[in-house]
């Protein structure tokens, strides 16, 4: 499944990322909608969910995220909706880890 989030805030460290495999961090923006896929091995076999997917978060609950590979690139987002059938666009798409 996938979850759509609206990025509320992010640290300035995301924009400073220059390593080739992590340049995607520079394109994160406040107010953008991002789509995050929950796939094995991030999915718990017991719950069939990914940690941090905002399962019980609705309305204005602020959730925190952190980029893998650069712990200084972090921020907050709000859950928009969960999609049982992923249709994430090629840009602004991520995977839970």
CA quadruple 81, 84, 87, 88: dihedral sign: positive
Q: Is residue 97 part of a domain?
A: no
Q: Is residue 11 part of a domain?
A: yes
Pairing assessment for the beta strands 93-95 and 63-67 based on DSSP bridges: unpaired
pLDDT tens across 41-75, in order? Answer: 889 989 999 988 888 877 679 999 998 888 899 99
Q: How many domains does the chain have?
A: 1
**Domain ranges, residue 35:** 2-92
* Res 8: pLDDT: 95
What is the mean predicted confidence (pLDDT) over 25-34?
A: 89
Pairing assessment for the beta strands 33-37 and 93-95 based on DSSP bridges: parallel
């Amino acid at each position: 499944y996938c979850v759509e989030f609206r990025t509320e805030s992010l640290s300035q460290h995301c924009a400073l990322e220059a390593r080739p495999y992590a340049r995607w961090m520079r394109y994160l923006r406040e107010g953008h909608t991002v789509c995050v896929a929950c796939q094995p091995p991030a999915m718990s076999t017991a719950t069939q969910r990914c940690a941090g997917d905002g399962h019980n978060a609705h309305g204005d609950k602020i959730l925190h995220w952190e980029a893998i590979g650069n712990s200084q690139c972090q921020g907050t987002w709000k859950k928009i909706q969960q999609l049982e059938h992923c249709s994430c666009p090629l840009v602004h798409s991520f995977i839970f880890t």
